[in-house]
Amino acid sequence: MMDSTSSTAKQKSLVNCAIIAVFCGLACTFAWCVLNPNKICSDCALLMQCGQLLLAGKVPYVDFIEFNPPVMIYLNVMPAQFAALTGMPPALAFYIFVIACLVISIAACVFVVDGSNEKEESWVVAPTIVSLCALNLILCGYLGDVAFGQREHLFLLFYTPFFLLRWLRWRETASISRFSAILYGTLAGMGICIKPYFVILAVAPEIYWFATNKKPRRLLKPEMLAAIAVMVLYAVHFLFLPAAARENMFGRWLPIVAVGYNFCSYSLPVMLAFSVFIKGYVELLLLTGIPSVLMRRRCSLLMPLLCFSIASLAIWLLQAKSWSYQAIPFFFGVLVMFAIQFYLLTKKYIQSPFHNWKLFMANATTFGAAGAMLLLFNALFLATESPHNEPKCQALDRLVETKSRKGDSILVLSTGPGTSYPWMLNTGRLPGSRYLWCFPLPMIAYLINCTSDQAVRMQLGLEEQRVLNELAEDIERRKPRLVIVLARLDRRAKLDFDMFHHLEERNFFRSSMKNYVNLGRVCDCIVFERADDRHR
């Protein structure tokens, strides 16, 4: 009885310390967001503007064109509405939305485990929530870039309480109301819908649990049914989209993006080299995966985490983009495994600090040095890596401030959102075209290079001309104050593409921009100003 009481008290103490650490982390995260109200990654800024446009009654994939699944646009309506009501900077409103999701996720994790019948391993909630909060702090600076609020990040916030609940279900120690289970399943289903392949990450631990328990009835619990129902409803909701949006998304853009997005993809051997020699992901997986196998009997959560991490790394490799933010779920998996292993290795030495303290320090130093070495190695690479390979130039920002006002439309023709975002969002400028960034042109160019079939090439050429005609229509109708064109060879994995020369070869500037004056090169862009507005 004394041992059980002591163990319970120790677990509660561990959870209390974890909660204190989490709130310190939350305070640091919130302070960073307040001090950096405009520092937001280009992808998040783009999707935030999509939320603003949807809120204004615009139709996705028709009035504004982006190839992310619509669930991310729907989610961004909430911070967009909050920014509109409060008048705060849109990026700060987005950060507050993400922090709210983080707080709800942490509270749900504690509630799920603390209210369960789990006695032996309820302590795992502490390293899990501490790791979740530590990951958020890392993503604020992301070793040189900001990834706070990325799609993979939001997936983890929605999925983690569900993951812990599923672990308790398979251990038969879950104690939760049907309503709460459905709520967590609904949130997990929403997170999985953010990107279709997230379903693989959620299925990987279930396969392990089923293989080791072989009790199929545990797959039919309320949270699982709720998650599946959300995914089914999400699929069905496409039938109720406006016909033009549905036709454009599935009939026009999805076929182009499905293959054309490979213009910035690497081969599998190159991705393996990235993961092993440059980013160190495989070493990180081995560092945490091997101890997880050896300690699997001491904590039943380690092997499901390992399956989740392996699936995350496999998905990162198969996406073949080398962008580190796509490995955020992998970072989370190995971080939680490391935290659990460190606790298991050191808990008995912590109880009596003067007993075997040398062994305790050796373990701490070994794990700390190995982790620091990998992080340093990763930081050295990421410090020189530009995730979208696009120019960031203060001179361009100053020119936009001088030549335009809040509410003016500006057209940016580039190969990625990083040329126009986040400054379009932060300065209140409106997009000068339905194309928030000009992804179809490099993708079509790549597809034309990949085929020798003349009929296919002709069809792709017609599609390219259709895009150019739509850009010309938007310029005529929206009359953007400035047109900014990326004028630099963008060296992607499988295609070198220069947007300015591509458009110049097609006579686009002379035929569609007769009312614009060339202001010359600013940074890596050619800037045009509307002649009617030069003396405004």
pLDDT in tens, 60-118: 999 999 988 999 999 999 999 999 999 999 999 999 999 889 989 998 998 999 888 88
What is the pLDDT, as a whole number, of residue 30? Answer: 74
The mean pLDDT value for 158-164 works out to 97
CB contact at 8 A, 264 and 322: no
Nearest-angstrom CA–CA distance, 528 and 484: 6
Q: Dihedrals φ, ψ of 397, to 5°?
A: -60, -45
The residue from 337, 359, 385 where one domain ends is 385
Distance of CA 286 to the CA centre of its chain: 24
Region of 349 please: left (phi>0), alpha (psi -120 to 50) or beta: alpha
> Does the residue 375 lie in any domain?
yes
> Does the residue 56 lie in any domain?
no
Number of domains the chain contains: 2
Amino acid at 72: M
Q: Say if residue 471 is in the same domain as residue 351.
A: no
CA-CA-CA-CA torsion sign (343, 345, 346, 349): positive
Q: Say if residue 372 is in the same domain as residue 407.
A: no
Nearest-angstrom CA–CA distance, 93 and 186: 24
> Does the residue 474 lie in any domain?
yes
What is the pLDDT, as a whole number, of residue 185? Answer: 97
Nearest-angstrom CA–CA distance, 202 and 518: 52
> Does the residue 171 lie in any domain?
no
pLDDT in tens, 296-312: 999 999 999 999 999 99
CA-wise closest residue to 416 among 40, 38, 46:
46
What is the pLDDT, as a whole number, of residue 491? Answer: 75
The residue from 348, 365, 385 where one domain ends is 385
The mean pLDDT value for 421-425 works out to 90
Where in the sequence is the domain holding 329, given as residue range(s)? 265-385
The residue from 360, 385, 410 where one domain ends is 385
Nearest-angstrom CA–CA distance, 94 and 77: 10
Q: Say if residue 401 is in the same domain as residue 380.
A: no
List CB contacts of 118: < 8 A, sequence separation 6 or more: 168, 171, 173
Q: Which of 127-141, 168-182, 223-237 has the lowest mean pLDDT?
A: 127-141
Looking at the DSSP bridge assignments, the partners of residue 209 are: none
> Does the residue 421 lie in any domain?
yes
**Structure confidence at residue 373 as a pLDDT band (50, 70, 90):** very low
CA-wise closest residue to 126 among 23, 12, 28:
12
What is the pLDDT, as a whole number, of residue 16? Answer: 60
Q: Say if residue 422 is in the same domain as residue 365.
A: no
> Does the residue 272 lie in any domain?
yes
Residue 381 has pLDDT above 50, yes or no: no
Q: Say if residue 342 is in the same domain as residue 400.
A: no
Q: Which of 168-172, 286-290, 340-344, 346-350 has the lowest mean pLDDT?
A: 346-350
Q: Which of 131-140, 152-161, 188-197 has the lowest mean pLDDT?
A: 131-140
Question: Mean pLDDT of all residues in the chain?
Answer: 85
> Does the residue 174 lie in any domain?
no
Q: Which of 320-329, 456-465, 469-478 has the lowest mean pLDDT?
A: 320-329
Residue 11 has pLDDT above 90, yes or no: no
Q: Say if residue 299 is in the same domain as residue 404.
A: no
Q: Dihedrals φ, ψ of 198, to 5°?
A: -65, -20
What three-state secondary structure class fits 528? strand
Q: Say if residue 410 is in the same domain as residue 518.
A: yes
The mean pLDDT value for 263-279 works out to 86
Q: What percent of the chain has pLDDT over 70?
A: 85
Q: Say if residue 300 is in the same domain as residue 349.
A: yes
Q: Say if residue 471 is in the same domain as residue 446.
A: yes
Nearest-angstrom CA–CA distance, 105 and 103: 5
Q: Say if residue 347 is in the same domain as residue 428.
A: no
Q: For the residues of 309-328, what is the DSSP string, one character each?
A: HHHHHHHHHHH----GGGGH
> Does the residue 170 lie in any domain?
no
Q: Say if residue 373 is in the same domain as residue 269.
A: yes
Q: Say if residue 371 is in the same domain as residue 452.
A: no
Can you tell me which residue has the tokens 């795992």?
Answer: 124
Burial environment of residue 206 by CB neighbours within 10 A (0 to 12, 13 to 18, 19 or more): middle
Nearest-angstrom CA–CA distance, 387 and 153: 16
